[in-house]
Amino acid sequence: MELNKYIDHTLLKPDATNEQIMILINEAIEFNFFSVCVNPCFIDLAKKALIKTNVKVATVIGFPLGANTTESKINEARDAIKRNADELDMVINIGMLKQGNIDYIINEINSIKNIAGEKTLKVIVETCLLSNDEKKAALEAVIKGNADFIKTSTGFSTGGADINDIKLFKELAAGKIKIKASGGIRTREKAIKMIEAGADRLGTSSSIAIVKGE
């Protein structure tokens, strides 16, 4: 199993510096990770540094709370695409989901996907804040919104990726959408379990330890 090609090598901490992002980028080049995932202010730096590589640049939209207006998320997405980001990881409005306003969620996702076009859109639903029924509703909304991935977590809430959530999404999605496990994946063993449960991509800041089995 080529674990490196499942990994979005991630640094989204608010105190990240250019120097730290360059370390992340150089690690991604060395280990040939699928992508780096960085905050929007680092898109230009990452694209320039990775121009002669196969490593993609992912960024985040409405991160980490998802409570921004749809219009602000649209503006973020437009700016990210203008800067040639390859993938967008957007956070849904979790409160809207929990109060049952599913059409809001679908329309917001679809609006961002229309901007992303052929580029990959991953939708973060923050599973640790949802009941099983809400997870099912979130999955249905992500599929109806025409996104490419459902993603478990921001890594900034009360919990991260859970193996049972991956299994649930895999079973219910029936191949209609891919799954990104993110949050708290720090060991090779856990990474492999997530993939075996159905994850198509992993978001982690422990990428090197995972591929080295440390």
Please tell me which residue in 8, 89, 148, 162 is annotated as part of the active site.
89
Burial class (CB in 10 A: 0-12, 13-18, 19+), 30: exposed
Please tell me which residue in 56, 73, 119, 180 is annotated as part of the active site.
180
35-38 and 201-204 beta bridge pairing = unpaired
144 belongs to the catalytic site: no
Please tell me which residue in 119, 151, 178, 190 is annotated as part of the active site.
151
Q: Alpha helices of the chain — where are they, by DSSP H? A: 18-31, 43-49, 70-82, 94-98, 102-116, 132-144, 163-173, 188-197, 207-212
How far is it, in rounded angstroms, from Cα 16 to Cα 14?
A: 6
DSSP class per residue in 61-96: ESTTT--S-HHHHHHHHHHHHHTT-SEEEEE--HHH
Bridge partners for 204 per DSSP = 9
Longest dimension (CA), the chain: 46
133 belongs to the catalytic site: no
180 belongs to the catalytic site: yes
**Rounded to 5°, angle at Cα 126 from 149 and 117:** 30
User: Among all residues, which ones are annotated catalytic?
Assistant: 89, 151, 180
